[in-house]
Amino acid sequence: MQDTNAEYWMAKALELAEQAASCGEVPVGAIVVCDGQIVGRGYNQSIGACDPTAHAEVMALRDAARRVDNYRLVDCDLYVTLEPCSMCAGAILHARIKHLYYGATEPKSGVVASRQQFFDLDFLNYAVEVTGGVLADKASQQLSDFFRMRREQKKALKHSSLGDSGL
């Protein structure tokens, strides 16, 4: 059975993922929670910011670090709608996040469970607790809807350019 508290916070991250989608970004959202309060928010902004590091997790960690005035986010939890990549897993570790909650798995580049089990590596000097699959169906559906829309837009653009050429 899902933890309703985790579902509550993940729903907040899903709202941020919607913001990413509305900006044409892959819909991934993240929040950092400390003592029952959101201290950091982020959503994917790599395309708009021309920044390959502007993933939802990194943006949320940056926001939280500024707000708490510390790059260590000890006793904070991170909720992200998609399983983190290697860059984000490293940032989560360095921030000293206590517990990572994620929604959908990322079979191509997820390193928490899918492609690797990063947080289980024996040489790491810090342990991050992990819970996956929180509101996974909603997170997966949000991603599927986004990419289906993008394919339809691309197809429509292709058809309109063929129509304009007189073919």
For residue 85, say whether it is annotated as part of any ligand binding site.
yes
Cβ neighbours of residue 159 closer than 8 Å, sequence gap 6 or more: none
Q: Does 88 belong to an annotated binding site? A: yes
Q: How far apart are CA 78 and CA 131, in angstroms?
A: 10
- DSSP line for 80-118: EEE---HHHHHHHHHHT-SEEEEEE--TTT-TTTTS--G
Question: Is 57 a residue of the active site?
Answer: yes
The answer to whether the CB of 63 falls within 8 A of the CB of 40 is yes
76 in a labelled binding site: no
The residue from 57, 106, 129, 152 that is catalytic is 57
Binding site for Zn(2+), residues? 55, 85, 88
- Give the residue numbers marked as catalytic: 57
